Amino acid sequence: MSTLPSRRPRLGVTSGSEGDRVTTLELFFDLVFVFAFTQVTWLMVHGDPPRSLLQGFVVLSLLWWAWSSYAWLANQARANRGLLRAAFVVAMIAMFVASLTIPEAFHEVPGGIPAAATLVFCYAVVRCAHLAVYLTAAGGDKALRGRVVRTAATSVAPTVAILAVGAAIGEPWQTWIWLGAVGYDFAAIYLGARAGGWVVQSAAHFAERHGLVVILALGESIVAVGVGVSGTPLSWSVITGGVLAITIAVGLWWQYFHHRFEQLEHALESRQGDDRARLASEVFTYLHFPLIAGIILTALGLEQAMAHISDDHLGPLGGWALAGGLTCALLASALTIVRTGGTIPRLWWASTAVVLASGALLTLLPPVWALALAAFLVALFCASDKS
């Protein structure tokens, strides 16, 4: 009689295997990022655009690497057991404190502790805890352990050092130094992934994990609608705007989950070894970032529209955030299919350019009509997308 191979737990670590699904601890971990996404939107709204948009992008990049690194870790070994459980709890606490610093990350309020330095410290804790535990989760896989060590030396350590320099110098250089740090991190991790060594134990878990973070980002777009009308008397404009805003969020959900998600999971399942890991890195770690960024930017546009629902025009921040966010999300969604070998009709690409160009019109329209136009464009994509 054949028996299943033993997993040989070490420090309570249980290796992942094909068919594993997301654990409840990972879902709990994600709740911190719901709050963090809301803080990023706040930073972009209450700053000085377009610089505040760039600052929001930088912070969102840091959040993405923190979240993504633990998605890889939980795929290597079960998150709700042993040493990994402790690492996830520590990371969750550190990320919550980091999220508290976001509104003051670039413009500190006198009298408090240094927000930028606190954010960098918490980020370092999250990334270092991840790498330390990954060494144990790798078990006897020498190639994976080597990749973890090289990532610590070539990616995490330099990135944290650059972030610390930016926090020490402060504005106006901090924004650009931090942008350089996240740009370096993106490039270093990408090149490391191309060299091989990483492992995707469960395609189902990895795809589900990233589907859930898309849901989290879409949840921010729902929250943004409520934040936008906070303190505004209920009116037909508020109700109509809310319905249209939710329709846009539903359209983005449809674009990803009605067509894309199952195709991406199937593509990942059909590959093995380094080929699977490279696909996971490029499609999920990299192309899902602009998808999430686009949804968050769309949420900013929705919040602006609802906050100015009675005005005679939406304005440049809301109009271009709505058009730019939708364009970014739609393009990233399409590129995931292209990377897995699928095709996107040429008309689809041209239509995406139309969505971006619509920003000029959205800024001039009353918010309700701007939301109606954006909802119409998203609905057209949902109706025409046969990929």
Q: What is the pLDDT along the chain (387 residues), one digit of tens a residue?
A: 333 333 445 677 888 788 889 999 999 999 999 999 999 999 999 988 999 999 999 999 999 999 999 999 999 999 998 899 999 999 999 999 999 999 999 998 888 899 999 999 999 999 999 999 999 999 889 999 999 999 999 999 999 999 999 999 999 999 999 999 999 999 999 998 888 889 999 999 999 999 999 999 999 999 999 898 888 899 999 999 999 999 999 999 999 998 789 999 999 999 999 999 999 999 999 999 999 999 999 999 999 999 999 999 999 999 999 999 999 999 999 999 999 988 877 878 888 999 999 999 999 999 999 999 999 999 988 887 665
Ramachandran region, residue 139 (left: φ > 0; alpha: ψ -120 to 50; beta: rest): left
Element (H, E) at 252: helix 236-254
* H/E element, 122: helix 115-137
Tokens of 375: 């909802």
* Residue 264: CA count within 13 A, CB half-sphere: 31
pTM of the model: 0.93
Rg for the chain, CA atoms, rounded:
21
For residue 62, give every residue at least 6 positions away whose Cβ sits within 8 Å of its Cβ, in sequence order, or none: 119, 123, 163, 182
Structural contact between residues 225 and 303, judged by C-beta atoms closer than 8 angstroms: yes
Nearest to 288 by CA among 249, 335, 324: 335
**How far is the first Cα of the chain from the last one, in angstroms, to the nearest whole number?**
45
Nearest residue to 207 via CA among 382, 20, 37: 20
Token pair, residue 142, equals: 């020498």
* pLDDT tens string 12-57: 788 878 888 999 999 999 999 999 999 999 999 998 899 999 999 9
